[in-house]
Every structure is written in structure tokens, then in C-alpha cells.
Structure 1
Amino acid sequence: MAHNLKIQLMDTHAGGDVSRIVTGGVGPLPGASVRQQMEYLRDDADGLRRLLLEEPYGIPEMSVDLIVPATDPEAEWGYIIMEVMGYPIYSGSNTICTATALLELGLVPKQEGVQTFKLEAPAGLVQIEARVQGGVVESITCEGLPSYIHTHRAAIDVPGLGEVTYSVAYSGGFYALVEAADLGFSLEASEERQLAETAHAIVEAIQAERGFFHYTLGDVGPLPFLHFMGPVEQVSRHAYRSRSATYVHPGVICRSTTGTGTSARLALMQYEGRIQPGDMLETVSLRNTGFIGTYTGLGDADGQPVVENRITGKGYVLSQADVVVNQDDAMVSGNVWESLRALQVPG
């Protein structure tokens, strides 16, 4: 038996959120769709996620995206998203990073100007628009999932905070949306730890009180996200800007504002009559990075009004490396090792 395993990675970031793109070292996964392959990893082979998001190989603030062959003939490639909270079916920042990596690796041939292609996420097909200038991927625009407001301005008593007013949006996961100023925050980098502690308390209280059901997916588990909203500034006739911060339970404030967080904001602004089709919202993070969300129209999904949207950002390549996993390393638990072996990672 081999005493070490190797996994090929391209580390990237979009808006500050690091996405570790797994480009090799994992064998074929069971499942007739990328969604089914994601469910296999979630239920039976969680070792890859744990390895790359835990010490000594990573930290919970990172994400992992495993590139897999697409099962839908319209898609160039598939990808499976892994985060500290588990396996989201979609993520804007991870999609931007994955599309960038595929272009930089030549797995999707790079073309000067604007090119379009599709990827297969666990949520389904995703339309990608890449802008390439001088051989550099300058931006990626991806479809956000159809988003909607599930709950508008509910109140909950949170231990240590008192009554907190929140809304809940679905944009690839359920998000609690809260006004940062109501909780005493101006959304500066120095507040990051306190933001995480505050969000943790609010999410725990909401999870203890209620669950949320998607109109087609049904029960998708406990609410995992909270988005702190800063004041909205109108910067031109069709453009708005707002400081923002996204929290992932348990304990992580994202470096970026996140694509799904931006989609959730668009859903709330549309619900409250504050934007029209074609309007854009730039969300600005604690580190002054941003994504731009565009509200493209109001759709209907099985009787549920949904906000159709696009997210634009830029991905950066940080490094390419082989990760070596040693079987006798006490920092790698036995069940993580066995899970990796089950994924047919070659030694």
C-alpha cells in the first residue's frame, strides 16, 4: 500500500476568498450527474473537503472546488463546491474562481475578447461569460441562481443582543439579512471578529427557532449564512453600492461579499421596490474588494416569483502545487485517509 497520496491544486481567489481548485489526483466519482457526485462526497467520502480545509493543509475560511467531467453535454466541465458548512449547490465566488482556473489551465481554450461557455454545478447548468484582454482573464460573469425573499422583516430575541430584525433570502442557500448599523457595525476590517461572534449568535437563535423550505428543493438543512448589509448609496442612475459582509456558519466571515450574498441583496432590494431590471449593485467587502450583481428580470419558477441575476468579479491565480498526504502523519485522521483512498487518489 502506498504511504502517501498526491493531489494537484491551483489556488485562486476572487474578492479575497481563496478557492482551492482540485485539478488532479481524484478518480471518477459515482453518480449520473454532478449533483449526485456531490451527494456521494457529502454522504460517503468527506475526506477531501476535510483535508483541504483543516490543519495542516488549510483553514476553514478557504473553499474547495473539485473539477469533474460534465455529465450534461452542454457543459464544458463540472465542479463540486466544498466549504466549512458542507456542500453548497452553488457559489458565485467559487464559480468565478473555477472558470478562471479552467481558462488558465487551458481546459477551456482561452479566446481574446468575450467568450461564453457553460459549466455544470450541483445546482445545474451555469452560463459563463469571460472577458480576456492580452491573454489575461479580466472578469468572469456568471449566472446567479434565481433568488427570492422567503421572510421579510421578522424579529427574534437573541441572547446577549436582544431583539434582532432580519429577512431571509434564498440565493443558492438561505441567508439571514440584517442591517449592520442596527447592530452597531460600520463594516470595517477591525470589526471582523465581533461580526463573526454576532452572526454566530443570530444564526444559532434562528436555527433553534425555525427551519426553511425551498419551493422545489424542500428542506435544505439549517440556515447556514448571514449577510450584514451596509447603507445603499446610489452612484449613478442604474448603479448602487453597499458595504457588506457574509458569514458562514460556524464562525467564518468571508473575505469577499460572496456572489450568493450579492444575489440575496438583489432579491431584497427588488422585493422592497428599490431596483428595476438592469440595475446593478456593487457589494464592497471589509477588505474593499467587490462583486457586481445585476438584476436582469423577474421570473416565475413553479409559481414562485424569482429574481434573475448575474454576478461579475475577477479571479486571480495564487499558486499551483502538489499536496502530499502522508499516511503516518498524526495531523491526518484515519477516516480522512480512508476517505481519500476511496476516491482512488493515486499514490
Structure 2
Amino acid sequence: MSQELTLQLIDTHAGGDVSRIVVGGIEPLPGATVRDQMHYLRDDADGLRRLLLEEPYGIPEMSVDLLVPATDPAAEVGYIIMEVMGYPIYSGSNTICTATAVLESGLVPKQEGRQRFKLESPAGLVQIEALVEDGVVETITCGGLPSYIDTYRASIHVPHLGEVTYSIAYSGGFYALVEAAELGFDLTRDEERDLAHCAHQIVEAIQAERGFSHYTLGDVGPLPFLHFMGPIEQVADHFYRSRSTTYVHPGVICRSTTGTGTSARLALMHHEGRIQPGDRLETVSLRETGFIGEFTGMRQEGPHTVVENTITGKSYVLARSDIVVNCDDPMVRCDGLHHILGAAQAASG
């Protein structure tokens, strides 16, 4: 007998990055915090991530965000981020999409003008400020993770590329930051495939040479991301703009500039003495979409100067749907999924 299951989704995108928000069909997960629930999903129920990011339902360029009850009473809703490379503790574009879905689904009622509320991510509480005009969520501003420079302008030999100069920032994950022009790129859409190939070579070389440790989190795994930086232009007082693009996985360049990539760039600009608190940077993607990062403050954490920041962007709702999951379909993998399905579905399956 066919085992037919359903999941309720709101598909969104911010800056071109598609985030599938799972709003129903999954049982509450064990764990005292959203971070604990993320660990459970990663270690014992990874089937949900694979199901929605692999054929026939998804592609690696997408992300998935599972809404869960908040464990912190200060938050309205919790969410767990799933991407092709695993389970990042934070993501700007995913947070912008999740906050929009929370408002559009009515989990947090919309209020005209500016409204504030908190979400609980695996990284902790996130302050959200939404601008609602005529019932439409026009922008979301979310707190970026405190960011800092770990390594400044180091050099590494990369086969077929030669000597490559890079910096390393932490902004929710470790980022290699490279000047696009030094590698022969103008950051145009026709370069996307070559950018992904180039970034993969650099990331593999850095991973083979060294690892990175966060000053409080410790080992967070090998370097996953690379951010190509274009020239910076000042377009107004305290406002800058730069083309950029982010590599996240072999063959995958993000459609958006990424929120954490923008936070990493703010940390580098501050390290170089190019911005002050209150300054803003708009990063512009290969698809001409953008996020605006604002440098809001700084503090000293041991040897690191940590940059506090916010990220502003707009998310669009693409679809509200029920995904029908037929476990008899040879293209579908239901392993690692049955035990987290809603009780009624699990019983019927």
C-alpha cells in the first residue's frame, strides 16, 4: 500500500536564495533549546533535509527552515536552518525568509509600520524589525552574528591558480574573503560557473593546510565558505556599495550575496579602518539583488575586535503548498524521516 505523507510549506526567496519554510507536518523535536533540536535533527533525522533539498523535490541551491516552538520565552518562534552543506547555526537570508513567513502565515500578526519581535535560532535569540506597508512585508532587518577577522591577508599556493591572498572572517561560519579582481573576475553572471570552480580550489587548499577555531564555540568544522569581493564605492555619506558573491558548496554559488557574507565584509572593512559605527554597506549579487549591512558597534573579545551588525533585505513569498511524499516512489528516500512526522501521518504510514 502506498505510504503517502504531506508536509506544509511556504516557499520564499530573499535576494534570489530560495528558502522552503516547513510550517506543518513535523512532530515537536526533543531538546531543551533550538540548538539541541538542531543537533537531534542533524544526528537522528537528517532525512528531512535530504528529502527537501534533493531530487525530485529540491535542488542543492535551495535552503530549508523548519519552524519549531521557541524554547526561550522571549521569542515568538524557533527555526532550524538546513542547507546542502549541513546545519548552519545562523543565516541572514534564511532569517529574513523565516521572519517573512512567520508574518505571512499569521504566527506573528502583522502590524502596520515598524514592528519588532524575536526569533530563536540555533545561534540564540535574533531581534527582528519588520517594515509593513499596506499589509505587505517590505523589509526585514535582523541582527547579524558578531563577526571578527581571524586572519588578515594570508597567502596560499593553489594548484592551477598560483599564489592567492585571502583573509578569514567568522560571521556565523568561517569565510575566506578574496578580492575578485586579483583572480580575474568582474563578478558578472556569466562567470558563475568559473567562480564556483575557482572558489572550490581555494577552499580545498585552505582546508588541507589549516583549520579554524572560534573563540567561544571552538572547532566548528572545516572552512566552508568563500566570499568574492568587488571594489567598494561610496555612494552617499556613511553608505557604501560593492558587488560580491558567495560560494557555499561544490558547484553552488548563492543567488544572493548572503547575510553572513555581508557581515564578514563589514568585519573586514572595519579591520582595514574603512568604516565606523553607523556606516552601511550594500552588497550586490550577480543577479543585481542586494542586502544592506549596518555596522552598529564593536567590542573586544580577547584578542578579537568583534563587529556587531544588522542585515536588511526583502523576502518574497513564492508558494504555499502541501508537499506530497510518496515513499513507494523510487526517487524518494523516506529513511530518517518517519519518526519525526506528525502523529496522524506516522500512524497511517
Q: Could you state the TM-score of these two structures normalised by the residue count of structure 1?
A: 0.98
CA offset at residue 249 of structure 1?
Answer: 2.1
CA offset at residue 120 of structure 1?
Answer: 0.2
CA offset at residue 43 of structure 1?
Answer: 1.1
- Letter of the aligned partner of 1:271 in structure 2? H
Q: Tell me the distance in 2 between the aligned counterparts of 1:74 and 1:97.
A: 20
In the TM superposition, what are the counterparts of 1:85-124 in structure 2 within 5 Å?
Answer: 85-124=85-124
1:239 maps to which residue? Answer: 239
Alpha carbons 2:2, 2:326 under 8 Å: kept: no
The answer to whether the aligner puts 1:340 opposite 2:337 as a matched pair is: yes
SS in 1 for 2:106: coil
Alpha carbons 1:85, 1:250 under 8 Å: kept: no
Q: Tell me the distance in 1 between the aligned counterparts of 2:303 and 2:144.
A: 19
In the TM superposition, what are the counterparts of 1:44-123 in structure 2 within 5 Å?
Answer: 44-123=44-123
2:158 maps to which residue? Answer: 158
RMSD of aligned alpha carbons: 1.0
Q: Tell me the distance in 2 between the aligned counterparts of 1:25 and 1:41.
A: 15
Higher alpha-carbon deviation: 299-308 or 14-23: 299-308
Per-residue deviation, residues 201-257 of structure 1 (Å, max 9, x unmatched) = 111111111100000000000111000000000101200000000010232100000
Q: Tell me the distance in 2 between the aligned counterparts of 1:102 and 1:7.
A: 16
CA offset at residue 340 of structure 1?
Answer: 1.1
CA offset at residue 327 of structure 1?
Answer: 1.2
2:136 maps to which residue? Answer: 136
Alpha carbons 1:26, 1:343 under 8 Å: kept: yes
In the TM superposition, what are the counterparts of 1:268-287 in structure 2 within 5 Å?
Answer: 268-287=268-287
- Letter of the aligned partner of 1:223 in structure 2? L
- Letter of the aligned partner of 2:341 in structure 1? Q
CA offset at residue 193 of structure 1?
Answer: 0.4
SS in 1 for 2:56: coil
CA offset at residue 299 of structure 1?
Answer: 1.7
Alpha carbons 1:247, 1:253 under 8 Å: kept: yes
Q: Tell me the distance in 1 between the aligned counterparts of 2:275 and 2:102.
A: 34
Per-residue deviation, residues 295-315 of structure 1 (Å, max 9, x unmatched) = 001123466320000000001
Q: Could you state the TM-score of these two structures normalised by the residue count of structure 2?
A: 0.97
Alpha carbons 1:149, 1:271 under 8 Å: kept: yes
CA offset at residue 29 of structure 1?
Answer: 0.3
1:37 maps to which residue? Answer: 37
Q: Tell me the distance in 2 between the aligned counterparts of 1:331 and 1:144.
A: 38
In the TM superposition, what are the counterparts of 1:5-16 in structure 2 within 5 Å?
Answer: 5-16=5-16
Q: Tell me the distance in 2 between the aligned counterparts of 1:211 and 1:158.
A: 16
Per-residue deviation, residues 283-305 of structure 1 (Å, max 9, x unmatched) = 00000000000000112346632
Alpha carbons 2:203, 2:226 under 8 Å: kept: yes
1:207 maps to which residue? Answer: 207
SS in 2 for 1:338: coil
SS in 2 for 1:72: coil
1:226 maps to which residue? Answer: 226
Alpha carbons 1:89, 1:121 under 8 Å: kept: yes
SS in 2 for 1:339: coil
Alpha carbons 1:283, 1:292 under 8 Å: kept: yes
Q: Tell me the distance in 1 between the aligned counterparts of 2:190 and 2:90.
A: 29
SS in 2 for 1:257: coil
1:265 maps to which residue? Answer: 265
- Letter of the aligned partner of 1:109 in structure 2? P
SS in 1 for 2:187: coil
CA offset at residue 196 of structure 1?
Answer: 0.4
CA offset at residue 2 of structure 1?
Answer: 6.6
Aligned length: 344
CA offset at residue 124 of structure 1?
Answer: 0.1
Q: Tell me the distance in 2 between the aligned counterparts of 1:244 and 1:293.
A: 13
Q: Tell me the distance in 2 between the aligned counterparts of 1:296 and 1:65.
A: 27
CA offset at residue 159 of structure 1?
Answer: 1.1
- Letter of the aligned partner of 1:221 in structure 2? G
Q: Tell me the distance in 1 between the aligned counterparts of 2:273 and 2:24.
A: 46
- Letter of the aligned partner of 1:225 in structure 2? F
Alpha carbons 1:203, 1:249 under 8 Å: kept: no
Alpha carbons 1:282, 1:290 under 8 Å: kept: yes
Alpha carbons 1:300, 1:306 under 8 Å: kept: yes
Q: Tell me the distance in 1 between the aligned counterparts of 2:176 and 2:136.
A: 36
SS in 1 for 2:335: helix
- Letter of the aligned partner of 1:291 in structure 2? F
Identity of aligned residues (%): 77
SS in 2 for 1:110: coil
1:299 maps to which residue? Answer: 299
Could you tell me which runs of 5 or more consecutive residues in structure 2 were left unpaired when the two chains were aligned.
none
Q: Tell me the distance in 2 between the aligned counterparts of 1:306 and 1:99.
A: 25
Q: Tell me the distance in 2 between the aligned counterparts of 1:300 and 1:27.
A: 41
SS in 2 for 1:342: helix
- Letter of the aligned partner of 1:137 in structure 2? V
